[in-house]
Structure 1
């Protein structure tokens, strides 16, 4: 568990996960002189962190959630639009902190290209996995297999899994893929 000192406060992100931030932080302005600008990073977050229905958050939804977090007194959808379009590129630390909390990334994502690169890689992998799962869920044969497997006894499910593992390993070896350890 994380200990907090008197200058830290616990905030809750959009998914309810606790995140800690400096309560008495000055309203210092943060300028991003990295190889990628603030607008690009913010737009990547919008694209990579979808709403529960899979669609992209709107500027208004993000502004409302950031205001509700109480990390920022005021932030509007038009200000977020300006940040996303490069019209404004010098937000206050409080604005960055609020946006970071919403998207569940560290504030350093916006100012450190190495941190942004690492997080972007993780977000891309997560997005690919989400798309793979959605594709599987829409496949009627895969759903039928899952439904039938759910009706089997535990022993029957183990036998089906063993058979699936054999077929999976065969297909991987045919494609030249690496066969995973059991």
Structure 2
């Protein structure tokens, strides 16, 4: 199934979630939200590599739960791209700038340039103050 196993990919998805969901919470959300029968034990087995041949239905349901395309589990190049995007989102969330990023998405390109310039100036000013 490629250089990166289903277990490693699923583990990364769990770790990228904040807070990290329990196996029971994921199983219940998949069952109630998607109507796919899956147990928390089976999800644990997939994540730990004790089971490594899930059905397309289960992969599709888990992908939907975590908000990634099912190709994430099947295509290592796709997984690497998605992991990079998830890492960026985690960094934005951890830095506490999610609101700024979301608001900037609805601003014109010229407005975003202005925001970027203001942030750069604040950053430079704070670096100088630390020196």
- Structure with the greater alpha carbon radius of gyration: 1
TM-score range normalised by the length of the shorter chain: 0.7 to 0.9
Aligned partner of 1:80 in structure 2 is: 43
Is the strand fraction higher in 1 or 2?
Answer: 1
Residues 88/106 of structure 1: CA separation in 2 closer, same or farther (3 Å cut): same
What's the CA shift for 1:68? 1.0
**Mapped contact 1:69–1:98 kept (Cα < 8 A):** no
TM-score by length of 2: 0.75
Unpaired runs of 5+ in structure 2?
Answer: 98-114
Pick aligned residue for 1:62 from 7, 11, 26: 26
Aligned partner of 1:127 in structure 2 is: 90
Kindly report the root-mean-square deviation, in angstroms, between the aligned alpha carbons of the 2 structures.
2.3
How many Å separate the matches in 2 of 1:68 and 1:166?
46
How many Å separate the matches in 1 of 2:71 and 2:121?
45
Q: Give SS of 2:28's match.
A: helix
Is the helix fraction higher in 1 or 2?
Answer: 2
**Mapped contact 1:71–1:98 kept (Cα < 8 A):** no
